[in-house]
Amino acid sequence: MSKPAVDLTIVGSIGIDTIETPTEKQEEILGGSVSYACAAASFFTHTGMVGVVGTDFPQEYRDTWIHMNIDLQGLQTVEGKTFRWSGVYEENMDNRRTLSTELNVFETFSPELPEDYREAPYLFLGNIHPALQLHVLEQVRNPRFILIDTMDLWINIDKEDLTKVIGKCHMLTLNESEAQLFTGEHSLSQAAQHLLGLGPEYVLIKKGGNGSMLFTKEDIFLLHAYPLESFKDPTGAGDTFAGGLMGALAASGRTDREAIRQAMVYGSIVASFGVEEFSLERLKQLDRNKIEVRVEEFKAMCKL
Ligand code: AMP
């Protein structure tokens, strides 16, 4: 059998963001779940992007992805304006408020996978409407490993489709508060067991700057976040984490527990770089060697 054109397909949103932190405001910068996730995955494996932009989308942003060697066959360009989102972080950077969301071309987005992507062994379905995630699952040919992400909006408005998607993936990732919202369980262990009961083999609960927890029916793996002295913008950190994880897993060619734990370390370290600057600015300057150095530094911190 011939090798698939990409090892990892990632589907998600592409946004032009305006972000305000207590010290800085950046307007019209490159964002979106698939943009962060593909950038992170690109350090490890050949990755295909599935998303939509409008005819106003800057060539400079497209060039950023091209320089990262991201495959853009699955990128649709549609007449109209690109999705726009703006948000503001409060003083402690823990809470973020959405100021505006303009769906634009994202409103009628229907993810269509190029023939070349359908055989990719690894698939990451970023945070989009669960009905669209189901549409992607109908197109792929038996991937070895499927990760899905979601958000509170879909838990609130389309839990039924979301439950179907969860039943078809190998791993589900969501934030602590989303796991509690979906299940009604306060304890993360109980919430994870509830979600595992819906079908996935792994549930990965993200706790922002406090790290993440990987649950299976048999065990739990705890991963601390890399302790940064300072950071500028946490937007997209979860997408960067998941993209890096899937990129590293695809590069390993494995899907077992040990490989997933190692891949989580890579995802977390790439995300720690990503938040040091706005948008993809830090990831653009990054290389595999710098990632490896920080991974070793992190492992030394975790040694018992
Ligand atoms: P996160 O920090 O993981 O919430 O991801 C932030 C990115 O999600 C931003 O770059 C936005 O462009 C994008 N985004 C914001 N709202 C939505 C939405 N409703 N659907 C899809 N993507 C969104």
Residue ID of nearest Cα to ligand 1 atom 14 = 32
CA distance 83 to 107: 8
**pLDDT (tens digit, 9 = 90+) per residue, 143-192?**
999 999 999 999 999 999 999 999 999 999 999 999 999 999 999 999 99
Rounded to the nearest angstrom, the distance between the alpha carbon of 109 and the centre of ligand 1 is: 15
> What letter would DSSP give residue 55?
T
Pocket residue to mutate for ligand 1, from 27, 61, 83, most atoms within 8 A of Cβ:
83
Matching residue, tokens 């997209």 = 236
The Å distance, Cα 13 to ligand 1 centre, comes to: 7
One-letter amino acid of 222: L
Q: Identify the burial level of 43 via C-beta atoms within 10 angstroms of its C-beta, where 0-12 means exposed, 13-18 middle and 19 or more buried.
A: buried
Tell me how far the alpha carbon of residue 62 is from its chain's centroid. 19
Residue 110 has pLDDT above 60, yes or no: yes
Asked whether residue 1 carries a pLDDT value surpassing 80, the answer given is no
Token readout for 238 is 């979860």
**pLDDT given at position 304:** 87
Residue 88 near residue 97, CB atoms below 8 Å: yes
- pLDDT tens-digit readout, 42-77: 999 999 999 999 999 999 999 999 999 999 999 999
Centre of ligand 1 from the C-alpha of residue 40, in Å? 16
Give me the chain's average pLDDT, please: 96
The answer, yes or no, to whether any atom of ligand 1 lies below 6 A from the CB of 13, is: yes
Dihedral class, residue 68 (left if φ above 0, else alpha if ψ from -120 to 50, else beta): alpha
Residue 206 is classified by DSSP as E
